[in-house]
Structure 1
Amino acid sequence: MRRLLLAATALATLSPALSPAVAQKGRPDTDAALAGILDQGTNHSEVMVTAQQLSDVIGPRLTNSPAMRRAEAWTQAQFARWGLKNVHKEGFEFGRGWSIERSSVRMLTPRPIQLTAIPIAWTPATNGPLTAPVIVAPMKKVEDFDKWRGKLSGKIVMTTLPDTGDEPDEAPFKRLSSEDLSKLDRFQQPTYDPAALDSRLKRLDYAQKLDAFLKSEGAVAYATMSYRDGKLVSGEGYLFGKGETPALPGVQIAAEDYRRLARLAKTGPAPTLEINSDVRFDDSDSRAYNIIAEIPGSDPKAGYVMAGAHLDSWVAGDGSADNGAGSAMIMEAARILAATGVRPKRTIRFALWAGEEQGILGSMAYVEQHLATRGTSADTAGGRGMQRYYGYSNRWPVTPLPGYKDLAAYFNIDNGSGKLRGLYAERNPAVVPIFREWLAPFASMGATTVALRPTGGTDHVFMQQVGVPGFQFIQDPLDYESRIHHSSIDTFDHLKAADMRQGSIVLASILLNAADADKALPRPPVPTQPVVTDPFAYSDEN
């Protein structure tokens, strides 16, 4: 009874506060729509049902995998069922599909132990159990190969240098305090260092060179150590293009198990492992697909606002927090707005991106198809995956396309299921007072902060890099980075339902404000090639 009374009181006090801030910039019917957003987002929420379908039923959604194809079909059907319009998918060239049927890694000697391990994405199958002794041969650059020539034949090569452990020194689960949020609001000057970008690009083909070296030396498989303790594995791999598939099976072994193997190999004799990696490639369609849906605007000349999250995930867990949570909140905001019957001035477009985990490729494809290109055709012809990601910001000029000014604002969610606490303003001071006004009604929900600093690593990045106003939400971290991100425990159990309902409501309101605002958000100029930030710096790269 008390809980229900508190909830009713919170809604009663929140709803009136929504009106003044939005009415200043919006239209007369906005008040009723916002009341409907609160009702739909609390009393009729489907966000956790959506997240459960993506997590438990469909599961991990590696780009171009069979599960990702099911997710593409299901999300389109849901958008259509909720009444959204222009529901479709947009393709771009990606590469091979890949999935795990089953896998097992066991230590056979000096005693039998079932190890915690996972096949590395886009590595080949073992075609039945593969048994061989291990050798610890740490390698992280081509110059390390000479040390191990003639020593690897018939071996499972452990290529990571074992460390001594990674015991946590702080709680893995965290909510942002007022002090934490205040520290985010710092202006960070941009830096431009093309030499550093070039050095990253030179290192990207190392995985292929390592695979070729191991094969030439007669190794039968390789193993890496997971980068976190706690028996967590992730299995990231990036050789997904046709013609790039490694020759050798690869597995990532939990840090604790990897260190045990390394200790045994040090004292001798070397342990023997059995690896059974039953993985499947799918080359039926080399194109990946972004999913698009819309709530049409009343003014065809007003352009559109947009919200997105990446639908793809890695395969060790179910992709629940990264980024089933963000995808579910995007979809829920779409459902909420459709259910309220809003008819905004600008079209509201929703996107579920593919290929984010392999270099933010889905949203890059959207930018290049609809908004702007960077560099010349020669700059983009040969690169793929992480080559395109690292090379993108060093291509000039930026050339706007005819639809460049149509996108008035883009909002992204990609940091797990934590409560939305505000927005990063991406070094755009002109949007700060606007965002503060739009967030003001949600102070009692914890969404108050506008941080001038930028944030990176997700699907708003390339929009910012062509001068389109793209923004990422600030979220409570929970245990996203400490345990969940890319890991084998990224499952539904770690999602926070109250936070995701809050996030869906805040997002729906922000989108409605942006869609109905008298003017589009202030945008920076079209980027031009900057001068080198530190022209006096030396590099230790060869």
Structure 2
Amino acid sequence: MKKLCIVFALIVIHISQAQEKPDSLIMQKIRDEGMNRSQAREILSWLTDVYGPRLTGSPEFNAAAQWAKNKLSEWGLSNAHLESWGPFGRGWRLKKYSATIIGRQRQPLTSYPKAWSAGLGSREVEGEVIYFNPETDSALETFKGKLKGKFVLMGNPIEVQAAFKPLATRLTDTELLELANSDSPRARRERMIRRPTSQQALLMYKKWQLLQQENPLAVLTSAPTPRSQAGSVSVMGATVPTHPDTPYTSPYRLQAYKSNAPKLPAQVEVGNEHFNRLIRMIERGEKVKLAMTLDVEWTSQKDDSSYNVIAEIPGTDLKDEVVMIGAHLDSWHGGTGATDNGTGVTVCMEAMRILKTIGAQPRRTIRIALWGGEEQGLLGSRAYVEKHFGKRDSLKPDAEKFSVYFNNDNGTGKVRGVYMQGNEALRKIFRAWLIPFKDLDASTLTAANTGGTDHQAFDGVGLPGFQFIQDPIEYDTRTWHSTNDVWERAQEDDLKQAAVIMAAFAYNAAMMNEKFPRKEPSSGNKGVGYDEHWGCGYDFLHEH
């Protein structure tokens, strides 16, 4: 009897392992549909060219969300809807902007307003440019009473270097090998901004306090990012003066989009070269003026909220269990949100279209989520996880029905593998799933974590959530959070490959005999920059 039980157990294990292998016929169908009849190019054009930048809370975001919901429904997905979360804050849109340097000659100023910046009205305003860069408290005092009604140029000159390295790159074999051999909790550090010293941070806070009190026409800044070095303008949200000792998670830390945000001067980000030129002109005694039109519109929503787009392909025998794929729909406003993250949205929508088109019948329900508020701190995904699955120390019953979440948000680059978030139990699973796509250059697995995007909302509460390894292309060097984040920077063939792999991973996870393996709680691995208050990483501040 004992021998019989052992034999039976071995048979069950063998059958289970066999069933976990990808269905080669379905993999072939997914690949054929995705590579030969892709709609990725069209999806991305609608998102970026028609609906454009999708700032959280803006009318443009809401219009794009409605379009995505309708398109998913048109393809035959079930339960397509907008799910609200919030409250978020004020909607904002840029109606008109222009800026001209007035010196011995006139020159258009390479620049772009920050999101949620105050406006100057619909008419052009002209004013003197003041260079404001005090390095001590005593120097700061000398500016009191001198900034009102001026354009204030704030910050150090930017050292602009020649680009001897190519802007567009793919991961090399050496880099992929380093990833594969890494057991570090942090794989990607290059985007982390050097934090100022406590004295520097306190002085910066005092500068912004003075600017808030003086009420200049506008504050002009410039960031020394790789994108701005390459000719883009790196632009995000307006600054709210906050004491440096205030934790990011504190309710006392105000954001420019909040309805209770203080009155702030207009804020504009300037291209490095023009920022430096203005400083040099002033240092040489030139009386420099700017002529600027900055007209903005503040909008509100009935429930002061924003939305996630949700739709699904219902499962069969395990339909109460769910596999999720997703990407954030919101973007910054300087470009059209193409590689951050229109490409991720395109990959996920195309993956669902592929599965629906080939008539896939997954055992588990496959659900797509297009998140809002990622750029402000994973707001949409965190709210969704808390509402449906709970918190890390108090998971809800539906968490037991959740299998896995796959995310796409690292630009236009094709998939090269998977960050396993320290979960070694799934190495063999992912290895088997990647084998059919080895010829598409997707074969690397790393134990390392990656952060800065919506998979952290799941991983942070102990649910399996993963981001794919992707080729960087021009993400850090040209497009990320910049005015060059536009349709032309997307790589169509890379999107096709990524959508095929996303569809395959979603289908394979939905067909498993068991739910996805979870990390052992005793491992102590809470992911990158884990924060107990939010239950997710906080390095999104410097990432996406």
User: Which letter does structure 2 place at the counterpart of 1:159?
Assistant: M
Correspondence for 1:305 among 323, 331, 334 = 323
Q: Deviations over 1:87-132 (max 9, x none)?
A: 1111112111111122011111232111111111101110122211
Q: Taking every aligned residue pair, what percent have the same amino acid on both sides?
A: 36
1:214 matched to 2:220:
no
Alpha-carbon shift at residue 369 of structure 1 (Å): 0.8
Residues 361-510 of structure 1 correspond to what in structure 2 (within 5 A)? 361-373=379-391, 398-510=393-505
Q: CA deviation at 1:211?
A: 5.0
Distance 1:316 1:148 in 2: 31
How far off its partner does 1:153 sit? 2.9
The answer (yes or no) to whether the contact 1:173–1:478 under 8 Å persists in 2 is yes
Q: What is the aligned partner in structure 1 of residue 33 from structure 2?
A: 40
| SS state at 1:188 partner | coil
1:162-173 alignment, distance < 5 Å = 162-173=157-168
Aligned equivalents of 2:516 and 2:274: distance in 1? Answer: 52
- Counterpart-to-counterpart distance in 2, 1:400 and 1:205: 40
Q: State the superposition RMSD in angstroms.
A: 3.1
Structure-2 separation of matches of 1:157 and 1:22: 70
Alignment TM-score, normalising by the size of structure 1: 0.83
1:107-126 matched pairs, under 5 angstroms: 107-126=101-120
> Is 1:326 paired with 2:344?
yes
**Matches of 1:110 and 1:29 in 2, distance apart?**
69
- Give the deviation of 1:175 after TM superposition: 1.0
Mean Cα displacement is larger for which, 229-238 or 256-265?
229-238
TM norm structure 2: 0.82
Distance 1:202 1:55, change over 3 A: farther
The match for 2:231 is 231
1:77 Cα offset (Å) = 0.5
| CA distance 1:205–1:524, change in 2 (3 Å) | farther
Closer, same or farther: CA 445–462 of 1 in aligned 2, 3 Å:
same
Is the Cα–Cα contact under 8 Å of residues 122 and 246 in structure 1 kept in the other structure?
A: no
Counterpart in the other structure of 2:241: none
CA distance in 2, matches of 1:159, 1:173: 31
How far does residue 360 in structure 1 lie from its aligned partner after superposition? 1.3
1:52-97 CA deviation, whole Å, 9 max, x = no partner? 1101111111111111111011000010011111111111121111
> What's the counterpart of residue 14 of structure 1?
none
- The answer as to whether partners of 2:230 and 2:477 remain within 8 angstroms in 1 is no
Shift of the 455–202 alpha-carbon distance from structure 1 to 2, 3 Å rule, reads: farther
User: Where does the alignment leave 5 or more consecutive residues of structure 2 unmatched?
Assistant: 1-13, 188-194, 238-254, 527-544
* CA distance, structure 2, for counterparts of residue 202 and residue 400 of structure 1: 42
Mapped to 1, the partners of 2:234 and 2:32 lie a distance apart of 39
Q: After superposing the two structures, state which structure 1 stretch, 516-525 or 411-420, moved more.
A: 516-525
CA distance in 2 between partners of 1:199 and 1:115 (Å): 28
**Quick check: 2:39–2:350 contact (8 Å CA) kept in 1?**
yes
Q: Matches of 2:74 and 2:265 in 1, distance apart?
A: 45
1:370 Cα deviation from its structure 2 partner = 1.4
Q: Contact (CA 8 Å) 1:423, 1:450: kept in 2 or not?
A: yes
Query: Which moves more between the two structures, 306-315 or 131-140?
Result: 131-140
**Contact 1:25–1:517 (CA<8 Å) still a contact in 2?**
no
After the TM superposition, which parts of structure 1 deviate over 6 Å for at least 4 consecutive aligned residues?
A: 139-144, 198-209, 527-531
Counterparts of 1:28-67 in structure 2, within 5 Å, are 30-67=23-60
Q: How far off its partner does 1:402 sit?
A: 2.1
Q: Partner amino acid for 1:355?
A: G
Distance 1:269 1:29 in 2: 69
The answer for the alignment partner of 2:124 in structure 1 is: 129
The residue number in structure 1 matching 2:539 is none
Superposed, which structure 2 residues align to 1:180-219 within 5 Å?
Answer: 180-185=175-180, 186-189=182-185, 212-219=209-216
- Structure 1 residue aligned with 2:82: 89
The corresponding residue for 1:292 is: 310
Distance 1:107 1:199, change over 3 A: closer
SS at match of 1:426: coil
Aligned length, in residue pairs: 483
SS in structure 2 at match of 1:219: coil
When structure 1 is superposed on structure 2, of 140-149 and 427-436 the one drifting more is 140-149
Q: Which runs of 5+ in 1 are unaligned?
A: 1-20, 192-197, 375-397, 532-542
Return closer, same or farther for 1:296/1:143 CA change in 2, 3 Å cut-off.
Answer: farther
**Pairwise CA distance, 1:35:** 2.5
- Which residue in 2 is equivalent to 1:348? 366
Aligned-partner SS, 1:291: strand
> Within the alignment, does 1:272 sit opposite 2:289 as a pair?
yes
- 2:48 touches 2:337 (CA, 8 Å); kept in 1? yes
Whole-Å Cα distance in 2 between the matches of residues 181 and 22 of structure 1? 33
